[in-house]
Amino acid sequence: MANIEHVVIIGSGPAGWTAAIYAARANLKPLVIAGDGANRERMPGGQLMFTTEVENFPGFVHGIDGQKMMGVLQQQAERFGTRVLQNFVTRVDFTARPFKIWHINDLSGEAETQVLAQAVIISTGASANYLGLESEKKFENNGVSACAVCDGALPRFRDNPLVVVGGGDSAVEEGTYLTKFASMVYLVHRRDTLRASKIMAERALSNKKIKPLWNSAVEEVLGNDNDGVTAVRIKDLKTNATSVIECRGMFAAIGHTPNTAFLKGQIDLDPKGYIALKEPFRSTTSVEGIFAAGDCADPIYRQAITAAGMGCKAAIDAERWLAEQGID
């Protein structure tokens, strides 16, 4: 008979590794399907593999390099017996138990393989949306960011003008947060009104440090290797006129895309694609035995520490659920 895993964890960011540490210490011998590295969304280690400094994860007085941090979490999970497959999940069948999960590796060319699981923890993250400019990519981690809470306090941004792109709730939140550090925040928005909720929009627009630039789009991020971002060139979408705004950072705040496409029709997702959690404070989903953790189920906080906390909850929920089913 085919081998049935106790717990399969899909995703290897802070949520996945934390779930693995807890599940492994509970003797569940978890299998982590970590991503195959074929693109940014599929990177083993998750989003922190793309950042040099993590200053707000408890336990690291002087901060820690994102890749180093994810390596340490993986080692900790492996120390207790976690097994790791650097593969990417293409589809699942959660309609009957054991659950079926198909995975591939596009880098090695490994064909689709199926694994069976009694319980599954999904921790596939949510990817920040960027504008898609070449120059934006060039200055990532050198003045371009998609997370004000993560990066706003870095020395390079303090007492300097910054640009936030977007007009929804997250742009207004990010812009307002950045006024703590910036000398001025330019809010670049394609329309002439904000899409954010009325109360948040009013608060932002009455903030003397926020200057909206309506009907505008960033055409190019300007700078050099030494200083990083020094300015952005924006275009007035009504007149086509361009102008240069001096700034030391550009924050893309145009939403996130949860990495949940492979789950459509299998478990309940919210309208934006985030996994809908069934009960407050828990990791349970619409399907018994399937648990969710981290940014893929969190449209609000999206931080490494909150993802790790959710991973802990998911492993404890999975362990208790398996015990209730008489599977140990």
Under rule CB under 6 A, residue 303 binds ligand FAD: yes
Shortest Cβ 32–ligand FAD spacing (Å): 9
Site map for ligand FAD, 12-31, x if CB under 6 A?
xxxxx---------------
Helix, strand, or coil (residue 165): strand
Q: Are 32 and 9 in contact (CB under 8 A)?
A: yes
Which of the stretches 209-217, 265-273, 298-306, 312-320 binds ligand FAD when contact is defined by CB under 6 A?
298-306
Distance CA 240, CA 221 (A): 17
* Residue 11: burial class (beta carbons within 10 Å; 0-12, 13-18, 19+): buried
Shortest Cβ 324–ligand FAD spacing (Å): 26
Core vs surface per residue 273-310: b (16+ CB within 10 A) or e: bbbebbeeeebbbebebbbbbbbbbbbeebbbebbbbb
**What positions carry a catalytic annotation?**
147, 150-151
Q: Are 33 and 10 in contact (CB under 8 A)?
A: yes
CA angle in degrees (0–180, nearest 5) for 86-88-92: 130
Under rule CB under 6 A, residue 309 binds ligand FAD: no
Q: Which of 305, 312, 316, 327 binds ligand FAD (CB under 6 A)?
A: 305
**Residue ranges in 236-265 that form contacts with ligand FAD under rule CB under 6 A:** 259, 262
Shortest Cβ 242–ligand FAD spacing (Å): 28
Span between the terminal Cα atoms of the chain, in Å: 18
- Count the site residues for ligand FAD by CB under 6 A: 41
Supply the DSSP string of 122-138, one letter for each residue.
E---EEEP----HHHHH
Q: Which of 119, 148, 150, 185 binds ligand FAD (CB under 6 A)?
A: 150
Helix, strand, or coil (residue 181): coil
Which of the stretches 118-126, 196-204, 237-245, 276-284 binds ligand FAD when contact is defined by CB under 6 A?
118-126
Shortest Cβ 50–ligand FAD spacing (Å): 5
Relative to beta strand 210-213, strand 184-188 is parallel
Under rule CB under 6 A, residue 234 binds ligand FAD: no
Can you give the binding site for ligand FAD, defined by CB under 6 A?
10-16, 33-35, 41-48, 50-51, 54, 56-57, 88-89, 123-125, 128, 146-147, 150, 259, 262, 294-295, 302-305, 307
